[in-house]
Structures are given as structure tokens and as C-alpha cells.
Amino acid sequence: MASKTSIYFDRTKELKEFDDTKAGVKGLIDAGILNIPKIFVRPAEDLAADELNSSQRNNIEVPTIDLSSIGDGNRRKEMVNEVRIASEEWGFFQVINHGIPTSVLDEMIEGIRLFNEQDSELKKELYSRDRAKNVKFYTNFDLFASQTADWRDSLMLSFLDFDPDPSDMPQVCRRSTIEYIKHVKRLGESLFELLSEALGLRPNHLSSIGCCKGCSLQSHYYPPCPQPELTLGIKEHADGSILTLLLQNHISGLQVLHQGQWLDVRPTRGGLVVNIGDLLQILSNDKFKSVKHRAISNGAGTRISVPCFFSGHATLLDKSFGPIKELVSEANPPRYEEFLVKDYIAKFLSSSLGNKPPIDYYKL
């Protein structure tokens, strides 16, 4: 018993020392480490399972949906069907020709790179684990709750209704973020229309219940890892949002769990990844699937990803939440009990990404 206790306290001490630097994972790279600290090393059984899975990997790709001609009646019907199949069978798809200029995407990525590669003292001013802060820099929101730490640093920018206060945002990525958010809001509205139609509902149904309200950007910076085979960029999880839109740079890393295998979601120039979150799986009464995904580490270059989580916080926090009534019948009864979104979010934030997902608490 004593040895277990001493191991536990050594780990806690190492976590606290790492967190107290406020320099994140990039701080370790800047210090010139050759071996990653033990807090990042995954259990041997997880590493062995990955080795087995990697030998079975194939070239199946997540669906790609072309959003050009979205106003054309016939093409729109095809698009709705493509969205429906992808949401039911994959929970993931990529969109191209979505209307956001490539220059806006590039500038968003560049802004996040500049933020993470600026003088560390400037970043430290924003370092925080205070959940009430809408703008903060940190490493692993679940650092002290997880079994192993992940190889990434994050900048969170949270907005109640896509209306950021510029003065709160880091100057180095302020302009690019505000421009990006403007475009993402419009794209989100279009996607929620397609998703509504794919569920057999009116185009404005999901937006009318607040799905388009409130978002958070959690920009992730994954520096090259000296031992990428021992750790992950972000551990296996499903998103607790309604919908996630992900921008990523040219470095691969994102993987989705499909039919028991980890498949790469390769970056597409100008494309964005869309995935169903747990809250939309609940709203759809399990018609749409929120699936597990992760990011692997690499030693070749810096990966940057910018997930935008649509969570409807502004309007949904204190409201009763559950399957959409129009999707429930005697033949298809509700599969989840009703709950408050704020309780769901509290469960999500108080646990580790690798633990029991909050969605499981509400299954009937």
C-alpha cells in the first residue's frame, strides 16, 4: 500500500511542478528535453493495443461533402442525404467549398502559431485553470484528473453568442480570430439546416432551439514530440458539444474510431472536419452518432488544430434537454431521460476525457 501511495504522490508532485511552470508542453521542447516526462507516458497495455491496431489500418476515408451549389434544389437534396448517411454511419465528415476563404483559414492557423511561439512570459499572463474565464491558456483541462497527460497546449476563447470582446483576446491572434468566427457562424447555421433536414425536420428546427448559439474555440498546439510513440496529442474521447467544426493545418494526427479501427482523418487543403457531438446524438435520439476520436503525436512537425464547439450554452444552459419530440414515437421511444445542460457540462468538465462519458448517465 505504501508503494502505491508514494507513486501517487510522486505523480501529483510532477504534475504540479509541470503546471506551475505555466510554459506548457512547448516549454519542455524549448528546454531541450530528449525524453518525455513520465506523466505523459501511456500505460503499456494501451501501447500494445495500438501496435496491434496499426497493423490492421486501411485506406478508408471519412466522407467528404461538397457544399457548393447549396442553393440548388436537386443538389441540396443530395447534400442532405450525404449529411444524413455520414452522421448516421460515421459521426464525422469533411466539408469543402464551404464558403470560408482559404486566406481566412490560413490566417487563423498562423495566429495560433504566433500565439504559441511568442515569448513565454506573454503566454503565462493568460495561463489559468479557472473555468469562469472565457479566455485562457493552459495544458490539458483534465491534467490532474487523467491517467496520463496529453502532448498539447491550448488557448480557449469562449463566446456566448459569437460576439467576442476584442480586448479580451490575445493581440497576436485577435484580428484573425474575429474574422474566422464571423465565417464559422454562417457555416454553422448552414450545417444545422442540413442536419435538421437530414432528421426529417424543418430546416430551422435545430437553430430555433438554440443550437447555433454560443461557441468556444479551443485552439490546440501540438509541438513535435521526441518520443511520439509513447504518448498522445489528445486521448480517445467523444465531444460533449452539439456539433464541432475543426480546422487543422497540414500535419496529420486526427484519428476516428470506425468499426473498431483507428482511421486517419487526413487534412484537406481548404477543408473543415465536422463531427456530431454527444448533445446532438441525444437530440436525434441516437439517429446521429457521436463517435470517439483522438490525436496522435508526431516527431516531424507542429500540428495545429482549431475546434469550434457549438454547444448552445447561452440559451440551453437552464433548459430541460432531451430527444426532440418529433423524433420520438411509440415505435421509437426516447433513449435518454431529460436533464439540464449545465449539469451535463459540469459532469464533462469535472472528469477526465478518458473516463465514463456524461452521455451514459442519461441513457434509459
Could you give the domains of the chain? Answer: 2-362 (2.60.120.330)
Q: What is the pLDDT of residues 249-295, one digit of tens each?
A: 999 999 999 999 999 999 999 999 999 999 999 999 999 999 999 99
Looking at residue 62, its pLDDT comes to: 95
Quickly state the pLDDT bin for 315 (edges 50, 70, 90).
low
Looking at residue 314, its pLDDT comes to: 60
Looking at residue 2, its pLDDT comes to: 41
CA dihedral 11, 51, 90, 327 (to 10 degrees): -50
Q: Using only C-alpha atoms, what is the Rg of the chain?
A: 20
Q: Going along 149-248, which residue ranges are E strands?
A: 153-159, 215-222, 232-237, 243-248
Q: Which three cell numbers stand for residue 231?
A: 504518448
Q: What is the pLDDT of residues 73-96, one digit of tens each?
A: 889 999 999 999 999 999 999 999
Looking at residue 1, its pLDDT comes to: 41
Are β-strands 92-96 and 64-66 bridged in parallel, bridged antiparallel, or unpaired?
A: parallel
Looking at residue 356, its pLDDT comes to: 72
Looking at residue 313, its pLDDT comes to: 64
Average pLDDT over the chain reads 90
Amino acid at 77: K
Q: How far is CA 359 from the centre of its chain?
A: 16
Nearest to 100 by CA among 74, 61, 67: 67
Task: Please name every residue paired with 96 in a beta bridge, in sequence order, or none if there are none.
Answer: 66
Quickly state the pLDDT bin for 309 (edges 50, 70, 90).
very high
85 by Cβ neighbours in 10 Å (0-12 / 13-18 / 19+) ranks as middle
Q: What is the pLDDT of residues 149-193, one digit of tens each?
A: 999 999 998 876 666 677 788 999 999 999 999 999 999 999 999
Backbone phi, then psi, for 289, in 5-degree steps?
-110, 130
Instruction: Using the structure block, give the residue that is written with the C-alpha cell 473498431.
Output: 260
Does the structure show a pLDDT above 70 at 104? Answer: yes
Does the structure show a pLDDT above 70 at 19? Answer: yes
Looking at residue 318, its pLDDT comes to: 73
Quickly state the pLDDT bin for 300 (edges 50, 70, 90).
confident
Angle at 184 between CA 178 and CA 190, to 5 degrees: 150
Give 148's Cβ-side CA count (13 Å radius): 19
Instruction: Using the structure block, give the residue that is written with the C-alpha cell 470582446.
Output: 165
